[in-house]
Every structure is written in structure tokens, then in C-alpha cells.
């Protein structure tokens, strides 16, 4: 594995290996001194052309826990606002000695372009490209699911998950699939790991060609809750900033039909895990009772994100297994 650009490219063995290395990394994060010296002297550049809280900080924490030097670049306030091209930005970072580039960009395919351009010779990690993919988010979601499905703590150090897949799990992904790189990455990875995936969305918020994806589709949240026995429900943020036309009548109507409301939380019962990649729009796609319920693993997902990103950086920069 040279780069981490999409989950579609990951084999089952690669995915399980990354999750297993992340299991080792949770041990480091639980220590008083949360550091391993493995990337000492290496420089990881966080190149963010789009807003981010958890992903950027998570990659930074991950790189620092492996003792790498971290340079944070955000397009706002950089020479990009003066008209600098992507090629010039990347070559400048290469000249400064970047050993790995973590990139988030509004253009789908940008990380792939950087990885194949020859502009620099360093691993590229996709931290979210447009509406395409967000592989580390899907990996941390599967990591969290694997934990809870094996009866292990949702985050923190644990034994007993190594080598496991998600065979037998049924997972709903609910909401704005059209604009969601999280949904796309999760459909592929969950399928690779053996889970059954059901997308639940208004027809207007499903992408063209979804029938070729390895999943089932439902337009009705209530019918899907009645028809399936979900082990987990992954709620997606409604990506208003990417919507340039009306995809549903109004937010109240969206919540009523596709939101995780108090009633649906009750209908799902006590054995369904509630997930959300964050940031959450409380009262829109998810009610506070669901976000704060004992079945919600939203903060465990954030915690696991650091371990998963440590695993990805370690795997790509050292080329070794954990
Ligand atoms: C997601 C993203 O940016 O794609 N957030 C994240 O990385 N945790 C989802 C979103 O913004 O809704």
C-alpha cells in the first residue's frame, strides 16, 4: 500500500491489517506518555483546503503520537488565496521535505491527482475529497463497529478483536448520501468486511448509479426499521453547504421523514448502536436524545479516529505491519 486514497481499493486483508494495527495503537494512547518513536524525524503535512475540526486535529494527534513533526497548512490565509496552483503548492511542500501529505479538498479526485502527478514522492492520505471518499472515517467507523459487535469496549485498549471482520452485521446509513464521502467510503469498506449495508435516504439525495453499489436501498426510515434488524444506524449530516438546489421541502419535513427522532430511537430498541461522523446537526438529522443515548458511540468514534490514523501513517511511512 503506497497511498490511502479510497476504501474501494482496500482488500479485506489490508483493511483487517489496518484495524489490527489500530488496536495496537489504542495501547499507546492509553499510556501516561502517549508516544512511540517510530516516525521521529519524519514530517507529515496536513493540507486542508476545506474546513475541519476533528479530522485535522485527529491526524495531527496521530502524527505527534508517532513522534513525527507536523506542519499544518490551511488554504485560507495561504498563497492559494493569491492564486497559487495546486501543483505549485504541492511542489513547495515537497521542497520543504514533506514525508507524507494528508489532504482534504473540495474537489473529488484531488488526492488521487496528487498521488499520481509525480509532483512529489510521498504517501498521500485522503482526509476527504469533495463528495467522493473519506477512507479514514470509514476505517474508524468499522473499527468502532468491530469493537461493539465483538462485545468489547467501544474505544480504549481491548483484546479480542484482532483478525475479525464484520461478517453478520447489518448497518443502516441514513440521510444525505448524495453529498457524503463518508457514506461512499463506508459502503465499500463495510461490504469488503462482510457486513450487509442498507442506505436509507430520500430519492433526491441518492447518487446516480447507486444501484451498482454493493448495498440495498430504502426510501423509508420507518419501513426499514420494521423490515431489518439493524446492529448499527449511521446518521449522516445534511450537507447544506453542498446543496445548490432544493432536495427536500424544508428541514422540518426532512427531520420528520429521515431524522433519527425520539420515536425512531424507541422503535430501534436497545440493541442498535447509534453512530455519526460529526459534526452533528442536533434537531435536524439526529435528536439530542439519540446523540446522547447510552447506545451512541459518537465520541468513541472520535477517540478511535486517532488510533486508526496512527495505523495508517505507520503503515504508509514504515511499510511495516504492527
Ligand atoms: C465528515 C466530512 O467532513 O466528510 N466529517 C468528518 O470528517 N468527521 C462528515 C460531514 O462533514 O458531515
Walking along the chain (322 residues) 10 residues at a time, the average pLDDT comes out as 96 98 93 94 95 93 97 81 86 93 96 95 97 98 98 95 97 97 98 98 95 97 98 94 81 93 95 96 96 98 98 91 45
pLDDT, residue 321, reads 47
**Separation of 137 CA from ligand 1 center, angstroms?**
8
The response to whether 175 counts as a known ligand-binding position is no
Grid cell of 260 as nine digits = 433519527
The response to whether 134 counts as a known ligand-binding position is yes
The response to whether 55 counts as a known ligand-binding position is yes
Distances from the Cα of 166 to the Cα of 40, 150, 173, 206, 305, angstroms = 34, 9, 15, 25, 18
User: Can you give the pTM of this predicted structure?
Assistant: 0.96
Mutate to test the pocket of ligand 1, among 53, 173, 237, 239 (most ligand atoms within 8 A of CB): 237
Nearest atom (ligand 1) to Cα of 236: 12
**Separation of 132 CA from ligand 1 center, angstroms?**
12
The response to whether 137 counts as a known ligand-binding position is yes
**Separation of 3 CA from ligand 1 center, angstroms?**
20
Measured between alpha carbons, how far is 62 from 297 in angstroms, rounded to an integer?
20
Measured between alpha carbons, how far is 167 from 170 in angstroms, rounded to an integer?
9
Measured between alpha carbons, how far is 225 from 134 in angstroms, rounded to an integer?
27
Can you list the domains of the chain with their CATH numbers? 3-133+302-319 (3.40.50.1370), 135-297 (3.40.50.1370)
82 burial (CB, 10 Å; 0-12 / 13-18 / 19+) is exposed
Q: What are phi and psi of 71, to 5 degrees?
A: -115, 125
Nearest atom (ligand 1) to Cα of 181: 4
Nearest atom (ligand 1) to Cα of 237: 12
Mutate to test the pocket of ligand 1, among 59, 279, 282 (most ligand atoms within 8 A of CB): 279
Instruction: Ligand 1: list residues with CB < 6 Å.
Output: 54-55, 128, 134, 137, 181-182, 237, 239, 277-278
The response to whether 259 counts as a known ligand-binding position is no
Q: What's the count of helices (H) and strands (E) in the chain, helices before strands? A: 11, 9
Confirm if 175 and 285 have CB atoms less than 8 A apart.
yes
Nearest atom (ligand 1) to Cα of 52: 3
Mutate to test the pocket of ligand 1, among 108, 182, 185, 309 (most ligand atoms within 8 A of CB): 182
Confirm if 5 and 135 have CB atoms less than 8 A apart.
yes
Nearest CA to 146 among 307, 314, 313?
Answer: 307
E-strand spans in 201-261?
A: 216-218, 232-235
Nearest atom (ligand 1) to Cα of 182: 4
Nearest atom (ligand 1) to Cα of 180: 4
Confirm if 38 and 314 have CB atoms less than 8 A apart.
yes
The response to whether 264 counts as a known ligand-binding position is no
Beta bridge partners of residue 233, listed in sequence order: 172, 274
The response to whether 42 counts as a known ligand-binding position is no
Amino acid at each position: 500500500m503506497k497511498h490511502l486514497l479510497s476504501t474501494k481499493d482496500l482488500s479485506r486483508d489490508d483493511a483487517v491489517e489496518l484495524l489490527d494495527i489500530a488496536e495496537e495503537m489504542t495501547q499507546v494512547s492509553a499510556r501516561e506518555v502517549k508516544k512511540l518513536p517510530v516516525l521521529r524525524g519524519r514530517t507529515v503535512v496536513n493540507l486542508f483546503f476545506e474546513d475541519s475540526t476533528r479530522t485535522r486535529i485527529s491526524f495531527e494527534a496521530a502524527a505527534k503520537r508517532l513522534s513525527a513533526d507536523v506542519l499544518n497548512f490551511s488554504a485560507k490565509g495561504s498563497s492559494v488565496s493569491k492564486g497559487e496552483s495546486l501543483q505549485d503548492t504541492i511542489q513547495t511542500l515537497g521542497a520543504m521535505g514533506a514525508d507524507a501529505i494528508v489532504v482534504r479538498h473540495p474537489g473529488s479526485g484531488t488526492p488521487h491527482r496528487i498521488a499520481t502527478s509525480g509532483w512529489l514522492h510521498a504517501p498521500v492520505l485522503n482526509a476527504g475529497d469533495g463528495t467522493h471518499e473519506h477512507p479514514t472515517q470509514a476505517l474508524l467507523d468499522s473499527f468502532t463497529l468491530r469493537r461493539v459487535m465483538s462485545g468489547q469496549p467501544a474505544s480504549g485498549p481491548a483484546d479480542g478483536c484482532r483478525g475479525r471482520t464484520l461478517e453478520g452485521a447489518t448497518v443502516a446509513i441514513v440521510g444525505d448520501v448524495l453529498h457524503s464521502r463518508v457514506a461512499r467510503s463506508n459502503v465499500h469498506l463495510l461490504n469488503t468486511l462482510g457486513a450487509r449495508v442498507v442506505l436509507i435516504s430520500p430519492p433526491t439525495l441518492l447518487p446516480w448509479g447507486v444501484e451498482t453499489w454493493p448495498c440495498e436501498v430504502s426510501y423509508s426510515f420507518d419501513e426499514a426499521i420494521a423490515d431489518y434488524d439493524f446492529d448499527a444506524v449511521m446518521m449522516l449530516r445534511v450537507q447544506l453547504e453542498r446543496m445548490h438546489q432544493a432536495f427536500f421541502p424544508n428541514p422540518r419535513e426532512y427531520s420528520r421523514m429521515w431524522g433519527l427522532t425520539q420515536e425512531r430511537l424507541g422503535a430501534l430498541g436497545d440493541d442498535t448502536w447509534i453512530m455519526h461522523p460529526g459534526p452533528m446537526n442536533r434537531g435536524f438529522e439526529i435528536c439530542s436524545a439519540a446523540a446522547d443515548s447510552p447506545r451512541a458511540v459518537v465520541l468513541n468514534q472520535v477517540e478511535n479516529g486517532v488510533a486508526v490514523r496512527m495505523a495508517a501513517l505507520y503503515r504508509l511511512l514504515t511499510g511495516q505491519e504492527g
